[in-house]
């Protein structure tokens, strides 16, 4: 229960909070961009089964593998793509927390 609360809290509560703190002037746009990081889960569609609560996404799904995570870090480091990179890194943070909490 706590695992799902933390996982989905990071996915859906943290992005608006970050938008409010760091992007207040453009809060709505920033929040939508940060929330759009959930699109990363499109790679679940070619997994079998599509959703498995006992599976760690990090390292399993295509867009959740380390070369892509390095790309998200790179995007975050470039001013023009910083918010998109942050959206993707928030998603990775949520899924990493989920993996770490699997046994709880």
- Reported in sequence order, the residue ranges of the chain that DSSP labels E, i.e. its strands, are none
The boundaries of the domain holding residue 67 are: 2-100
pLDDT score, position 22: 97
What gap in Å lies between CA 93 and CA 88, rounded to an integer? 9
Instruction: Determine the pLDDT at residue 35.
Output: 98
Tokens of 52: 């498995």
Beta carbons of 73 and 23 less than 8 angstroms apart = no
* pTM, entire model: 0.95
Residue 40, CA distances (Å) to 25, 26, 47, 68, 97 in order? 26, 23, 13, 11, 16
What's the domain count of the chain? 1
Q: Residue 1 has what pLDDT? A: 86
Q: How far is CA 33 from the centre of its chain?
A: 12
The whole-angstrom separation of Cα 8 and Cα 50 is 17
Q: What is the pLDDT along the chain (104 residues), one digit of tens a residue?
A: 899 999 999 999 999 999 999 999 999 999 999 999 999 999 999 999 998 989 999 999 999 999 999 999 999 999 999 999 999 999 999 999 999 999 87
How many other CB atoms are there within 10 angstroms of residue 61's CB atom?
Answer: 20
pLDDT tens profile 56-74 = 999 999 999 999 999 999 9
pLDDT for res 104: 75
């Amino acid at each position: 229960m706590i695992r799902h609360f933390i996982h989905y809290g990071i996915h859906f509560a943290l992005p608006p909070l970050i938008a409010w703190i760091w992007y207040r002037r453009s809060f709505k746009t920033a929040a939508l961009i940060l929330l759009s990081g959930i699109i990363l889960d499109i790679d679940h569609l070619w997994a079998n089964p599509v959703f498995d609560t006992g599976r760690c996404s990090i390292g399993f799904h295509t867009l959740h593998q380390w070369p892509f995570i390095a790309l998200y870090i790179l995007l975050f480091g470039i001013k023009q793509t910083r918010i998109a990179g942050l959206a993707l890194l928030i998603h990775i943070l949520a899924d990493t927390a989920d993996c770490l909490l699997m046994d709880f």
